[in-house]
A = this chain, B = another copy of it.
């Protein structure tokens, strides 16, 4: 990398705006689960949109490629530089101003580096809700949430990050700034350009700020933990819950015994939630923003009717905020508990909601047949058809040998996903992890269309190269 261009970039961002010592840079080079380790000569930390634009302009001139990075909590390696040291990392963390909050308009405008939890907090201080909520919310940044179209636990009611986005400010691949910071609910003046950048994982431009939708703050939230007789009952219960609550569900999460046992064993403060153990649970949450609304009655009614119908065999409604937190600790504790049980091969899949039970039965049978003793840990947002289908190694097996079979089990699980017309990445994105695998599950035409969009907006491939877009698709167009 030419020293000269790096020096000019350093000048743009000033003395506190860059890092190049190996020890300073290291956290920016590592993927959070240890799947990837990249290498970069320079981490730039601009403080303003203008600085981002100036850096990108210099890179565009020099043909130097850029990896935008937020809180670096992504799970697919989308924010990690390549191993050859030929990317610079552009970290947005110093662009962390909330530019405006407008409770009357139900909007907030913040820079890419604002931590998600801060947006939630500022909304709440203004009697509003920003509903995006996920495990990493204390450190992930909204720019990363936007770039990966993050999901989380309240998608059911409020949508993915895409649906929460009203406007964007983006630095394009040539360093020009697109100011699309609209605060409108409706705007049909041509192509909806912001849709291009949401979920593009930084491959089409760098999101520097966004205007997001806010909602009335819930006044009451009621949570139930229900035990179910079998997988078939899960989605029956879901349909009943949508109907009886008047579609006011904010969460409908799957928990099953294997994961719960791991949480019970390894995570402090978790207790078995009902009087006896069950195999399958649904964590069901209803909230209301009305001061006179009643979130408890519909859940009570659901529980009673479902017990009678046999879709639920046992269950309890949280009697206090503490009990509610305890239910959620179980849900969140599954991920943590799994870490202590050796290697885990991950899947983040979605199938049509109506196919969740059939998928689970097929997939559990298939992986167990391939490897007796394997421990499938299925959990997550099944109200969206999205299951985190993780496979813990058999007890006592060799961790490395098990993890070496990552692709083998991906093929089994994703093959079944494909039969249900599902997706191999429901919410985590593509990044490096699934870029090449995607070529097996997406039609060539679809890969080509993605490459065409990429070529239209970043013809020299300097924005996060090697991510999302399969090289084969992009190269085919270069020859045109």
Residues of A within 8 A of B (CB): 102, 104-107, 148-149, 151, 155, 159-160, 162-163, 172, 176, 178-180, 182-193, 195-196, 198-200, 215-216, 219, 235, 239, 242-248, 288-293, 297-298, 301, 350-355, 381, 384-386, 421-430, 434, 438, 441-443, 445-446, 449-450, 452-453, 455-457, 468-469
Could you list 25 A-B pairs, sorted by A, with CB under 8 Å?
Answer: A104-B235, A104-B353, A105-B353, A106-B353, A159-B163, A179-B443, A183-B352, A184-B385, A184-B423, A186-B381, A186-B385, A187-B350, A187-B423, A188-B423, A188-B429, A189-B441, A191-B468, A193-B453, A196-B453, A216-B242, A219-B246, A243-B289, A244-B290, A246-B290, A449-B457
Q: How far is the CA of A4 from the CA of B184 in the complex (A)?
A: 49
Q: Are A239 and B195 in contact (CB under 8 A)?
A: no
* Bound CA span A413–B352, Å: 46
Closest 3 CB pairs of A and B: A246-B290, A195-B195, A456-B456
- Nearest-Cβ distance from residue A381 to partner chain B, whole angstroms: 8
**Closest CB of chain B to A12's CB: distance in Å?**
21
Q: Considering the chains assembled together, what is the distance between the CA atoms of A185 and B248 in angstroms?
A: 17
B-chain residues with CB within 8 Å of residue A429 when the two chains form the complex: 188
A105-B354, A176-B445, A445-B178 known; A185 vs B243 contact (CB < 8 Å) = no
Alpha-carbon distance between A312 and B8 when the two chains are bound, in angstroms: 62
Contacts of A245 in B (CB 8 A): 290
- Asked if A351 and B184 sit within 8 Å, CB to CB, the answer is yes
Cα distance A134–B108 in the bound complex, in angstroms? 30
Contact A199 B188 (CB under 8 A): yes
Q: Check A183 against B244 for contact (C-beta < 8 Å).
A: no
- A383 CB to closest chain B CB (Å) equals 8
C-alpha spacing A159/B29, complex, angstroms: 40
Shortest C-beta distance, A453 to chain B (Å), equals 6
Our pick among B185, B189, B239, B289 for the contact of A434 (Cβ within 8 Å) is B189
Chain B residue at minimum C-beta to C-beta distance from A470 = B190
B425/A192 in contact, CB under 8 A: no
**Do B290 and A186 touch (CB < 8 A)?**
no
Tell me if A297 and B289 are in contact (CB < 8 A): no
Chain B residues with CB under 8 A of A183: 352, 421
Contacts of A191 in B (CB 8 A): 196, 199-200, 449-450, 453, 468
